[in-house]
Amino acid sequence: MALQHRPTAPHHSAQDALRVLETVTRHTSGVTAAELGRGSGLDQERLTALLRMLRREGYVEQTADGAYVTGEALARLGSADGREQAVRDKLQRTLDR
């Protein structure tokens, strides 16, 4: 009898956070918590906790009118500048050796 894979709670948390981030990135002018709830399928309590964590870590920001937009940390993850700098640093270390 084969065991069926069941994700653990940490996997659910990561999946939920990614679902929220995907929803925020689709709304370039901002998205409300209510819209995020509908778009992510998460209940309000879970969504509030995730948004608090994502704001604290800089992945989302909340605008003056309460909407959520992508934050600096998320922008850095997708930044070509960061990758280019990492390649330059590695090349410099190789040249120094």
**25 lies in a domain?**
yes
d(CA 91, CA 97): 10
pLDDT band at 12 (very low <50, low <70, confident <90, very high): confident
pLDDT band at 5 (very low <50, low <70, confident <90, very high): very low
**86 lies in a domain?**
yes
**6 lies in a domain?**
no
**71 lies in a domain?**
yes
d(CA 97, CA 85): 18
The domain tally of the chain equals 1
The answer to whether the predicted template modeling score (pTM) of the entire model surpasses 0.85 is no
Q: 72 vs 97, which has greater pLDDT?
A: 72
pLDDT band at 64 (very low <50, low <70, confident <90, very high): very high
Domain of residue 18 covers 11-96
**What does residue 62 show for φ and ψ, rounded to 5 degrees?**
-110, 125
- Helical ranges in the chain per DSSP H: 9-26, 33-40, 44-56, 72-77, 80-96
**48 lies in a domain?**
yes
pLDDT band at 87 (very low <50, low <70, confident <90, very high): low
Interval 15-35: pLDDT, tens: 899 899 999 999 989 999 999
Q: Check which CATH number belongs to the domain holding 57 and give it.
A: 1.10.10.10
**63 lies in a domain?**
yes
**46 lies in a domain?**
yes
